[in-house]
């Protein structure tokens, strides 16, 4: 089965978002990955609900919204109304994770849980059966263009084992530093969704880069 490719709009040209969304629409990408940062949970601020609403007016691919924010439960419904088809919250920001997952699923969309590089996969064992997507951070969240963390391969294998043990249908998404060197090994380890930012948007032909990722088995 082919992987799902989710170009990260954080790496796009913000002065030409409509053009960038159109490029994704015309490509073989499956989702549009949207990073929401609040300057509290992570040391950066990206965009909010109005920008997501504006992108949704042009997007023909589902929007995969990654909430890198504190108190995500306050904003889940607003991002759903703005057009999110998938919403991921950080396990580190959710002391009541099961409640957060159920809140998202009650909206009729996919519920994801994002996991920082230092966070153990073990913490997902009691909720993995309720999760649609696990977003493994392969860089420290907050900034694009960081170097891929090599331990991610081992983490993917551990997560795949947990998913299989619990007979979960959760997809494994990799977010951070994905490129031509690590994409295939990540898929072989058990990943299913590849988020690619700079690798796509800094290339001379973003559509061809997306096509090459999509062709990986």
Residues with catalytic roles: 35, 175
**Count of beta carbons in the 10 Å neighbourhood of residue 30:** 19
Residue of 16, 109, 25 lying closest to 60 (CA atoms): 25
26 Cα distance to chain centroid: 20
């Amino acid at each position: 089965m082919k992987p799902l490719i989710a170009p990260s709009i954080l790496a796009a040209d913000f002065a030409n978002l409509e053009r960038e969304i159109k490029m994704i629409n015309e490509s073989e990408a499956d989702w549009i990955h949207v990073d929401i940062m609040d300057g509290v949970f992570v040391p950066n601020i990206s965009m909010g609900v109005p920008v997501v609403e504006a992108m949704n007016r042009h997007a023909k691919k589902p929007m995969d919204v990654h909430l890198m924010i504190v108190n995500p439960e306050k904003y889940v419904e607003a991002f759903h109304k703005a057009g999110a088809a998938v919403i991921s919250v950080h396990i580190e920001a959710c002391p009541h994770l099961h409640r957060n997952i159920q809140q998202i699923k009650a909206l009729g969309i996919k519920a994801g849980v994002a996991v920082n590089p230092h966070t153990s996969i073990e913490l997902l064992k009691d909720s993995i059966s309720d999760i649609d997507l696990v977003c493994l951070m392969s860089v420290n969240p907050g900034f694009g263009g960081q170097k891929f963390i090599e331990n991610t391969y081992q983490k993917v294998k551990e997560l795949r084992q947990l998913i299989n043990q619990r007979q979960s249908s959760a997809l494994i998404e990799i977010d951070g530093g994905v490129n031509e060197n690590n994409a295939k090994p990540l898929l072989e380890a058990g990943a299913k969704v590849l988020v690619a930012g700079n690798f796509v948007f800094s290339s001379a032909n973003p559509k061809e880069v997306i096509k090459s990722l999509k062709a990986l088995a």
